[in-house]
Structure 1
């Protein structure tokens, strides 16, 4: 029996994780849960630390981790979120952020052209380097002469492995997205690694776009893309854009993966959403779809596709929360997916 560690977290995190775990239990897989419900903002407020080495050891010892959300407005200017999210990603070396986006129903798309609405692609985002690596600093901090700098870090190893990962999940094509015409040093490295990766994978179609062009292309014809691979910051922005093209963050799931070790952290993209926490209207579908990614990662592809089909059916029948135009509560929307599975 394999262990799945669960971090419900903050805000709507515990609310959306509850129906996701009910669905996981319904699937009847040979797994047990290790719930770390103390890893949250309250623990950080009272102790000054949210994630201990003992917690990390529990996560390391599990087959996969399901995360609800972390973030609390009381802790805006503290290292809390970084301590949890970045520590998990860096300590487990989860270098590949995998965000599949599918239009579950035509009515969810904001695009006018019906022929261009059917987005079904993956954003593969480098997850441990780039502008989010934390490298940088301030000179003359707090003065009128202050200078702040954040370093966009790229390594040959980091870029090469994220490109290879992108090719490994591609069905038809891979598009690398960068800003090599303006960010010259990192861009040169990315382009060098890209040429080498293309040679290693000659049977996959490839394209290259600058990030501004890619953003424009996504909103004019998102059907043109299969896999987009890019750096940390570009991937952060483009994955939210693609989520908007498919119905919003309420249906956006993600996985943080290491292809070599098999470690995986699965989470809805939406964050803790403190503005709706406790109201009972948070959309659980992103958490449910994250469970689908998790069980697929564990080798249960049939069950994962059944979950996705159940979500699509619930949307088809308007059994959804207010963000998707419905009137159901979080619990009711989760129950709707379970009813479709039954």
Structure 2
């Protein structure tokens, strides 16, 4: 596979602006691989640009990581995977049969976007993302939400927001247990089972509680135990018992419908949210919308123990309506790359990358989705210029 060598960067080390969303993600030290000649830290990252604008925003993020790697004392070997909808059209699969085995030897996965109008969404999701999440035990989906410079929230008077959604990522409502009967007949029916395990709920609650300890100590648990009478009371009981082990952390149980309204009416009253797979999926997009743009939001699929690779991706989709025009916003992928660097233990480089794209936005360089005129390339150059200077 093609390999990209890091380009030079000229910034002093020592930039370590701490972002508390990453504290839990970085809690377990990475087993470092070092170049036997130079002694520099080296990482192997699998790149799945995917579909649509993923092919445009991914190179932008890789260039930024390359520009920072040398100055911060590490190297990255990119292994590019041509998986996605084109692979499905050619082979009937979103990735090769041994795709998981190919990824297993790497230190992480960086994904662009997946989805195409002519392929059902369940095929693209269950054929690529969900197998990676489950096989690599990426049970935490971490989504930080902030209002970035130059972005205007649709909520009147909201100019600052900083919250994190911690979503259970491999069980819950997204289950293969169920089926359909009597297709095409008047009595046709479908059954979909949710699967919640004590181990699964405990570990996501533990992760969220540890993160809350690093922030305000306030944790909100999304539930619907008044209507979903088996799985949600179980969720509530396990979350409450787990969080009780963490001094200084309080958990507030809030019904999902009330929480959705609260995140619109009083979004700053929420700091860390822990939620099931479905509820977390919905709430994180709602929160990103409240922050002004789903297009700039990142997502990390984490294996916190670091026994398997974690996967990082923007929240946005493949946007086939603008693909190929050179106008896609690469911030979500850049931010996801920063989360990847942080998870690998390269916190200074991660903070530098965040600072670089935030400074570019604050300076008025914005893509069309945010009301600006910059192309993908113009925005990327503005970020690269700031990667070459002290943050």
TM class, shorter-length: over 0.9
> 2:17: which partner in 1?
none
In 1: Cα distance, 2:179 partner to 2:293 partner: 34
Correspondence 1:31 to 2:54: no
Q: Tell me, which stretches of 5 or more residues in structure 1 are unaligned?
A: none
1:247 aligns with 2:288: no
1:257 equivalent to 2:302? Answer yes
CA contact (8 A) 2:220 2:254 kept: yes
| Residue 85 in structure 1 maps to residue 129 in structure 2 | yes
Aligned residues: 339
**CA–CA distance in structure 2, aligned partners of residues 43 and 107 of structure 1:** 36
Contact 1:5 1:65 in 2 (8 A): yes
Partner of 1:136: 178
Matches within 5 A, 1:71-150: 71-76=115-120, 79-105=123-149, 107-114=151-158, 117-150=159-192
Q: Which residue of 1 aligns with 2:29?
A: none
Query: Pairwise mapping of residues 228-247 of structure 1 onto structure 2 (< 5 A)?
Result: 228-247=273-292
Q: Which residue of 1 aligns with 2:100?
A: 56
Structure 2 CA distance for partners of 1:302 and 1:213, relative to 1, 3 Å: same
Greater shift after overlay, 18-27 or 198-207? 198-207
Change (3 A) 1:11 1:106: closer
SS at match of 1:131: coil
Structure 1 residue 78: Cα displacement: 6.1
Aligned: 1:319 with 2:360: no
Partners of 2:329 and 2:151 lie apart in 1 by: 17
The 4+ residue runs of structure 1 with deviation greater than 6 A are none
The TM-score, its normalising length taken from structure 1, stands at 0.95
Asked if residue 209 in structure 1 is aligned to residue 251 in structure 2, the reply is: no
Q: Verify: 1:337 aligned to 2:387, yes or no.
A: no
Deviation at 1:106, TM superposition (A): 6.8
> Residue 177 of structure 1 contacts residue 208 of structure 1 at CA under 8 Å; is this kept in 2?
yes
Residues 232 and 222 of structure 1: is their aligned pair in 2 closer, same or farther, counting only changes over 3 Å? same
- The two structures, once aligned, show a CA RMSD in angstroms of 1.5
1:271 and 2:317 aligned = yes
Q: In the alignment, what sits opposite 2:58?
A: 17
Aligned to 1:235, the other structure's residue is in SS state: helix
Structure with greater helix share of residues: 1
Find the aligned partners of 1:156 and 1:77 in 2 and give their Cα distance. Answer: 30
- 1:5–1:58: 8 Å Cα contact kept in structure 2? no
Classify the secondary structure of the residue corresponding to 1:157. Answer: helix
Structure-2 change in CA distance of 1:71 and 1:298 (3 Å) = same
After the TM superposition, which residues 127-206 of structure 1 pair with which residues of structure 2 at under 5 Å, given as runs? 127-170=169-212, 171-172=215-216, 173-206=218-251
CA deviations over 1:104-133 (Å, ceiling 9, x no partner): 13752112124xx42101111111112212
1: CA distance, partners of 2:122 / 2:206: 35
Secondary structure of the 2:244 match is: helix
2:266 corresponding residue in structure 1: 221
CA distance in 2, matches of 1:64, 1:209: 34
| Structure 1 residue matching 2:98: 3-state secondary structure | helix
How far is 1:57 from its partner? Answer: 1.6
Deviation at 1:77, TM superposition (A): 6.3
3-state secondary structure, aligned to 1:27:
helix
- CA shift at 1:276, angstroms? 1.2
Deviation sequence 1:268-319 (CA, Å, 0-9, x none): 0101111111121111000000010000001111111111112221221220
Structure 2: which 5+ residue stretches go unaligned? 1-41
